[in-house]
Structure 1
């Protein structure tokens, strides 16, 4: 293997892990909802698939349009994370409140879409730079799936220690991560 390919591979691995960290944070919060292991597996696979589809679309569009759209997707993703986190905190105090987005059915699609929006904007820039598409997609999908599973398993463990307060912690994580994306 050439030295250039190895450097590109290392950079893409670090990028894939960084992109998967938002899936990890979200999954940590979702894991506190005492999800069954089958649901954990499905959520991880769904988020992984979206981390393949979104950068693929971004790479395709990146070859056609400019990279200015990337800023808007980051803002949209961060505002959604803030809203979901705030709603989780609110519902922890108001037991009558229904959860805004559940990781079931269409809610799972919304969660996976939201957490993979940043990979779309990265895909745009990678499309402009001519990165190896297949390698990017495999790394992004695998890292987000694995980090998602780790987050949900850790969330299940933390929930046992914190009980009802784990939802406040999970909502705070999402809220803080959304603010970090928005202002960081």
Structure 2
């Protein structure tokens, strides 16, 4: 009887852990898909493989940092700042997208938005990762292993960023000079959606 009880308890623990891990994985994929779609826009502008690695690494890092910041800020403060953070992220995307469209219309007269610069890289990575901040509020409710959770968020964010940048790069090569304008339009639309 005692042995059967222990086996049943062990099975329940495994089932609970599997359910928790599946939930975390689904949230990580959802956050990563957001990064994927925004990275397609940046990739359309034309991007070197070295920049693909740098941008993806920055997004992966912020997909780890932002949930931790949300977790440590606490639920009340995060709920108040969550809306502000989304507004800031949306505003950044609108500015970046608008600048890319403006630059493509000026036929190269204006300097292009540069994700290769530290400011450009950080601005883009933060705007892409801002959703992770509010997710951090509820980490304590579903995360049995905090380190594994945030590392999974970072890995998915980085991986899907690479895929998005490479897809955008390929599409940008196919559509030529309109790639930057189209990529800017993608960022602009997502920025507006964040703001409403």
Same fold (TM over 0.5): yes
Q: Contact 2:92–2:123 (CA<8 Å) still a contact in 1?
A: no
2:182 to 160, 163, 169: 169
Moved over 6 A (4+): none
* 1:115-154 per-position Cα deviation (integer Å, ceiling 9, x unaligned): 1111112112324x36232122111100110011001111
1:75 to 59, 84, 87: 87
Contiguous gaps of at least 5 residues in structure 2: 1-12
Tell me the secondary structure at the aligned position of residue 79 of structure 2: coil
Partner of 2:111: 98
Q: Is 2:42 the counterpart of 1:59?
A: no
TM-score (norm 1): 0.89
Partner of 1:10: 22
Q: Which residues in structure 2 correspond to 1:19-168 (within 5 Å)? A: 19-62=31-74, 65=77, 67-95=79-107, 96-127=109-140, 129=141, 131=143, 132-168=145-181
More helix by share: 2
How big is the shift at 1:106?
2.5
Larger Rg: 2
* 1:58-109 per-position Cα deviation (integer Å, ceiling 9, x unaligned): 1111268452221211121112112211211111101212224433322212
Q: Contact 1:62–1:125 (CA<8 Å) still a contact in 2?
A: no
- C-alpha distance in structure 1 between counterparts of 2:16 and 2:124, whole Å: 36
Q: Contact 1:67–1:125 (CA<8 Å) still a contact in 2?
A: no
- C-alpha distance in structure 1 between counterparts of 2:47 and 2:113, whole Å: 16
Q: Contact 1:70–1:122 (CA<8 Å) still a contact in 2?
A: no
Contiguous gaps of at least 5 residues in structure 1: none
- The 3 A distance-change label for structure 1 pair 89 and 142 is same
TM-score (norm 2): 0.84
Q: Provide the aligned C-alpha RMSD in A.
A: 1.9
- C-alpha distance in structure 2 between counterparts of 1:78 and 1:172, whole Å: 13
